[in-house]
Amino acid sequence: MTSHLKVSVVIPALDEEQEIGQCLASLARQTFGDFVVIVVDNGSKDATVSIARTFGALVVHEPRQGVSYARETGFHAARSDIIVSTDADTEVPQNWLQRIHRTFVEDPNAVAVFGPYWYKPFFPRSGLASALIPHLSRALMFGQRMSWRFGHPYFSAANFAVRREAFLKAGGFRSSKDGQIYSDWEDVQLGIKLHRIGKVCYLPDLVVLTSARNLKLDNARDILFGTPKKALRVQVMGKDL
Query: How many domains does the chain divide into?
Result: 1
Domain that holds residue 106: 7-236
> Which of 29 and 1 is assigned the larger pLDDT?
29
Tell me which H or E stretch contains 159: none
Q: Say what percent of the chain tops pLDDT 90.
A: 64
- Asked, for residue 1, whether it belongs to a domain, the answer is no
88-100 pLDDT, tens digit per residue, is 999 999 999 999 9
Helix (H, G, I), strand (E, B) or coil at 56: coil
- Asked, for residue 26, whether it belongs to a domain, the answer is yes
- Asked, for residue 24, whether it belongs to a domain, the answer is yes
CA atoms within 13 A on the CB side of 138: 4
Count of C-beta atoms within a 10 Å radius of residue 59: 16
- Asked, for residue 241, whether it belongs to a domain, the answer is no
Residues sharing a CB contact under 8 Å with residue 100, sequence separation 6 or more, in sequence order: 7, 82, 84, 113, 161, 203, 206
pTM: 0.85
CA dist., res. 229 & res. 152, Å (int): 15
- Asked, for residue 2, whether it belongs to a domain, the answer is no
Q: What CATH number has the domain bearing residue 61?
A: 3.90.550.10
- Asked, for residue 220, whether it belongs to a domain, the answer is yes
